[in-house]
Amino acid sequence: MEYETTRNEQETMKGKGENHRVKKLILFLLVLMGLFAFPVIKPPLFFLTLFFSVFMYIGLTESWNLLGGYTGYISLGHIAFFSTGAYTTAVFMNRLGVSPFATAILGGLFASVLAAFVGYPVLRLKGAYFTISSMLLSVVMQLIFMNWEFVGSSTGLWYKLLPVRIEVNRVIFYEVMLSLATVITLLVRWVERSKFGAGLIAIREDEDVAKTMGINTPWLKMRAFILGAFLAGVVGGVYGYYMSYVHPEVTFNINTSLLIMLMAFFGGCRTWTGPLLGAAVLSLANQLIVTFIGAEISRILYGLLLVIVIIFMPDGVIQYVRGMFTRQRIGAQL
């Protein structure tokens, strides 16, 4: 079945494609600029807090998706890396009074090191065993931190807020987390379209076949794992400052693991837009429900949503609603 398009048609199609892409880019930039400029209109603090949470979840979910959606290794241990970052900044601030934000990067580095150690054995496990081990990582780390003097064990760690007014404080963190979310999303998008991403996707589709194509699967998985961990660690580092308090039951909370996974599945875990949409929609809803109704109710709803999504919409709700088959495209033009 050969198809032929005339030279002319091909040119117009290419032209249309370009036009389309430019339009999307402009739209994206406008939205981004709007978000950055938002604090200028002096909105109520509640909104800044709300959006901070949204940006944070976007960062977490996108970074999770490198290993989760692209490679097909569902990790319930992402919060361990997030917490490593949070605790890094907490300890540095608490014990050494070191200036903020630089230590967030350090938090990311510590998280990477943890990922490297843990990933070496754990990434050799397949599917369910990997997920179970990743969950064990979170649970065990929580237990350790609950009993470790140095990080404040079960009382947690308090430390000083930035020496500025609360309004300015909130704005600073809003902008920082927004930048972080943007950088992470763009990074993940870049990976998806790159050779690295193509390799990860091949691993997800059929790991044995990927090996026969010359893909060094352990190394690629490790890279995805470490990169995801680093990004989660940095996000955690910023979060740690924002909250000015860390406690194992908060940072290692299993419900966060559920939420991250749910956001990715809900939005569609095969491309970079899925976690973005999923995180935006669901974290917004989550924050609102938690604030106005209660944390447990929100979690119950999310648990139910996860069950529904898995049973009825394996490709993600957004895709289900569009009613279209998500065909993965490596180096996709979005």
User: Could you say which residues in the range 120-179 bind another protein, by CB under 8 A?
Assistant: 121-122, 124-125, 127-129, 131-133, 135-136, 139-140, 143-144, 146-147
DSSP 163: S
Q: Candidates 36-44, 54-62, 118-126, 169-177 — which segment interacts with another protein by CB under 8 A? A: 118-126
Task: Give the footprint of another protein on residues 82-111 (CB under 8 A).
Answer: none
Q: Could you tell me the smallest distance in angstroms from the CB atom of residue 264 to another protein? A: 11
Torsion on CA atoms 123, 129, 130, 133, rounded to nearest 10: -110
What angle do the packed helices 78-91 and 102-122 form, to 10 degrees?
140
Task: Give the footprint of another protein on residues 266-285 (CB under 8 A).
Answer: 270
Q: Could you tell me the smallest distance in angstroms from the CB atom of residue 249 to another protein? A: 8
Q: Do residues 233 and 107 make contact, with C-beta atoms less than 8 angstroms apart?
A: yes
- Distance (Å, rounded) from C-alpha 65 to C-alpha 188? 8
Q: Which of 5, 64, 21 is nearest to 263 (CA)?
A: 64
161 vs 289, beta carbon nearer another protein: 289
181 vs 220, beta carbon nearer another protein: 220
Task: Give the footprint of another protein on residues 187-206 (CB under 8 A).
Answer: 193-195, 198-199, 201-202, 204-206
14 vs 160, beta carbon nearer another protein: 14
Kindly list the distances between the CA atom of residue 277 and the CA atoms of 49, 298, 305, in Å, as whole numbers in the listed order: 19, 19, 16
Q: Do residues 236 and 86 make contact, with C-beta atoms less than 8 angstroms apart?
A: yes
Q: Do residues 267 and 243 make contact, with C-beta atoms less than 8 angstroms apart?
A: no
For residue 271, what are its two tokens?
């491309």
Task: Give the footprint of another protein on residues 217-236 (CB under 8 A).
Answer: 217
Out of 55, 169, 302, 317, the only residue in the binding site for another protein (CB under 8 A) is 302
Q: Determine, following the binding rule CB under 8 A, whether residue 249 of this chain makes contact with another protein.
A: yes
Q: Could you tell me the smallest distance in angstroms from the CB atom of residue 216 to another protein? A: 5
Q: Candidates 43-51, 104-112, 181-189, 252-260 — which segment interacts with another protein by CB under 8 A? A: 252-260
Site string for another protein, 12-51 (x = CB under 8 A): ----------------------------------------
Q: Which of 19, 46, 51, 21 is nearest to 34 (CA)?
A: 51
Task: Give the footprint of another protein on residues 65-84 (CB under 8 A).
Answer: 74, 76
177 vs 210, beta carbon nearer another protein: 210
Helices (H), the chain: 7-37, 45-65, 78-91, 102-122, 127-146, 166-193, 195-205, 207-212, 217-243, 248-251, 254-267, 273-292, 295-312, 317-322
